[in-house]
A and B are shown apart, each in its own frame.
Chain A
Amino acid sequence: MTIIKHELRQNRTAFAVWTASIAFLLIICVFLFPEMKGEMDSVGDLFSSMGSFTAAFGMDRLNFGTLIGYYSIECGNILGLGGALFASLLGISALAKEERDRTAEFLLTHPVSRKRIITEKLAAVLLQITAMNLLILILALLSIALIGEDIPSRELLLIHGSYFLLQLELACICFGISAFLRRGGAGIGMGLAAAAYFLNLVANISESARFLHWLTPFAYCEGADIIAAGKLDGGRIAVGMTLALIGIIAAYRQYTRKDIQ
């Protein structure tokens, strides 16, 4: 538990800033909904004239005039991209920051096994992601209640759940990469999150690029699919969780035998 507590303490500022930023933007979006709902005719015309851009964001399959349609696109993008970046940065820095900041010599000359270090650092990453998602979900529910709309509980929980799984997947993959790095890797983490996001946009636009949906966790977070099916895409999630597991196994295999510089 010592390392978990230490990691949480070290990351508390970053956690607070990322959580507050995502929650703030998400609440602003929810508060804009009543105004948007009143202008649905002009908004609908605008979106229908945007061509492939509409398809990229799944707006061709969603009713922007309903709260859940609006929420899954606007708030989903904020939570999706913001959460993905935060989770990737957490994962990519978890192990590598010790060598980057030259604190590895301090940590690894104490009587703690490398397996314990990996386990506690991974637990700290997952705890932060869980805490951030819970806080954001509570604030989202509160803000929807404040604007006087009915809360579409099932769809909302499925959407938030899918983004939670997306963050877990990216964090675990980045955690695995982190074990191989010596100098941090913020660029790699952010690049991976951004690449996953844009791969999904490309897959949404082009029929011939549909297979890319299997490579990006954003595919199982598509609000249009979730709302239409009333459930998450188990197949794509299974692929994503397998990649996450590979990341974790890679972290244990590499870090337990790594020469610490």
Chain B
Amino acid sequence: MNENAIQTRNLTKYYGKTRGIEQIDLTVPRGDFFGFIGPNGAGKSTTIRTLLGLIRPTGGEAKIFGLDIINDRERILSQTGYLPSETAFYPSMRVRDVLKLSAELRGRSFRAGRHAPPGSSHSMIAQPQSSDNRRKATLPSHEHDCAETARILCERLQLDPARKADELSLGNKKKVAIVCALQHDPDLLILDEPTSGLDPLMQREFFEILRECSAGGTTIFLSSHILSEIQHNCAHAAIIRDGRIIAAGSVEDLSRTGARRISIRGQMDYSALSGVKNLRISPDGADFLYSGDMQALLAVMANGTIRDVSITEPDLEEIFLHYYTN
């Protein structure tokens, strides 16, 4: 069995002369909860669309579960669930018809109305009972009927399967796409800006579902520019900028940089320091990100009139800004 869910080498995509992504090297181990961070236009969606075979790379190679993204596209997609950033469905279809179509396109059955007894689902997703009393089946099967998992997901996400899909709000359309991505118990979930449109309660439920999938062995590739989502859920992450990966590693390591968030109450000569970023001076003091020499900082502070100081590790958001302002 291949140890990596996703592996890319020098993956490159140009749209004519316009850069999409350049020489992307990514390794996502099986079972990982992996964050992919970058602002709009950095190349996140291009990377994902290349991995899914929607667009052809102009250079490099990529494998998913050891399978080539061009030659083994159908085998890869049969094991993958994808949640796009923008969802669109066919007109005049009810939610249950969309879910049935998605299941049938995967060669799965979808016998709505003839559900298996509660708890007999092969899904890794728990029944919508109290949070500490969720029944969970742990026998993922590629042959199971999708209707039961879809029913559980619809209940947990409070989605009415009888509604017309194209009349739904943005958030409810997103829920339909979530169920489509999850109902076949994929081995790999690729999520592109998954929480846009979801209210905070639904976001919490959604990440709870993802954590259950992750605990069941599903590899999750989460693309987002909401850094708290990555920091709270992912074990590893990569940061993409202008089509290139500029940092990758464990979220803990990425957060642990030489830079520190410094908050000072009092006065000192900031111009004497190098390595100061995002300096915000207020009448009471100042706040900045510092990546310079700590001795130099202490020396400058000693010459000032400091009433209070706090030195903390910056959160991922600040790290992200640090990378992006370099």
A residues neighboring B (CB under 8 Å): 2-3, 6, 10, 101-113, 257, 259-260
Distance in angstroms between the alpha carbons of A260 and B73 in the assembled complex: 14
Contact A112 B105 (CB under 8 A): yes
Distance in angstroms between the alpha carbons of A101 and B89 in the assembled complex: 8
Distance in angstroms between the alpha carbons of A260 and B52 in the assembled complex: 11
> Which B91-122 residues have a C-beta within 8 angstroms of A?
91-92, 101-102, 104-107
B55, B105, B180: the one contacting A259 at CB < 8 Å is B55
Q: Does B75 contact A (CB under 8 A)?
A: yes
Distance in angstroms between the alpha carbons of A112 and B75 in the assembled complex: 9
Taking the closest CB of chain A, its distance from the CB of B186, in whole angstroms, is: 11
Distance in angstroms between the alpha carbons of A61 and B86 in the assembled complex: 59
5 contacts between A and B (CB under 8 A): A102-B88, A111-B75, A111-B105, A111-B107, A259-B56
Contact B54 A105 (CB under 8 A): yes
Taking A108-B53, A111-B107 as known contacts, 8 extra A-B pairs with beta carbons closer than 8 A to each other, sorted by chain A number, are: A102-B86, A105-B84, A105-B86, A108-B54, A110-B102, A111-B76, A260-B49, A260-B54
Nearest B residue (CB) for A260 = B54
Residues in chain B near residue A259, CB distance under 8 A: 15, 54-56
Residues in chain B near residue A102, CB distance under 8 A: 86, 88
Contact A113 B73 (CB under 8 A): yes
Distance in angstroms between the alpha carbons of A168 and B302 in the assembled complex: 87
Residues in chain A near residue B54, CB distance under 8 A: 104-105, 108-109, 259-260
Q: Does B36 contact A (CB under 8 A)?
A: no
Nearest A residue (CB) for B81 = A109
Distance in angstroms between the alpha carbons of A260 and B55 in the assembled complex: 6
Residues in chain B near residue A104, CB distance under 8 A: 54
B53, B80, B88: the one contacting A103 at CB < 8 Å is B88
Residues in chain A near residue B82, CB distance under 8 A: 109
Taking the closest CB of chain B, its distance from the CB of A72, in whole angstroms, is: 39
Residues in chain B near residue A106, CB distance under 8 A: 84, 87-89, 102, 180
Distance in angstroms between the alpha carbons of A52 and B80 in the assembled complex: 64
B15, B77, B101: the one contacting A109 at CB < 8 Å is B77
Taking the closest CB of chain A, its distance from the CB of B108, in whole angstroms, is: 10
Distance in angstroms between the alpha carbons of A201 and B53 in the assembled complex: 47
A6, A102, A107, A109: which has the most chain B beta carbons within 10 Å? A109
Taking the closest CB of chain A, its distance from the CB of B137, in whole angstroms, is: 24
Distance in angstroms between the alpha carbons of A2 and B52 in the assembled complex: 21
Q: Does B167 contact A (CB under 8 A)?
A: no
Residues in chain A near residue B90, CB distance under 8 A: 6, 10, 101, 103
Distance in angstroms between the alpha carbons of A107 and B88 in the assembled complex: 11
Nearest A residue (CB) for B190 = A109
Residues in chain B near residue A257, CB distance under 8 A: 56
Q: Does B205 contact A (CB under 8 A)?
A: no
Taking the closest CB of chain B, its distance from the CB of A143, in whole angstroms, is: 32
Q: Does B23 contact A (CB under 8 A)?
A: no
Taking the closest CB of chain A, its distance from the CB of B303, in whole angstroms, is: 59
> Which B285-314 residues have a C-beta within 8 angstroms of A?
none
Taking the closest CB of chain B, its distance from the CB of A168, in whole angstroms, is: 26
Taking the closest CB of chain B, its distance from the CB of A123, in whole angstroms, is: 16
Nearest B residue (CB) for A107 = B105
Nearest A residue (CB) for B192 = A105
Taking the closest CB of chain B, its distance from the CB of A131, in whole angstroms, is: 20
Residues in chain A near residue B92, CB distance under 8 A: 10
Taking the closest CB of chain A, its distance from the CB of B70, in whole angstroms, is: 10
Distance in angstroms between the alpha carbons of A260 and B84 in the assembled complex: 14
Contact A113 B74 (CB under 8 A): yes
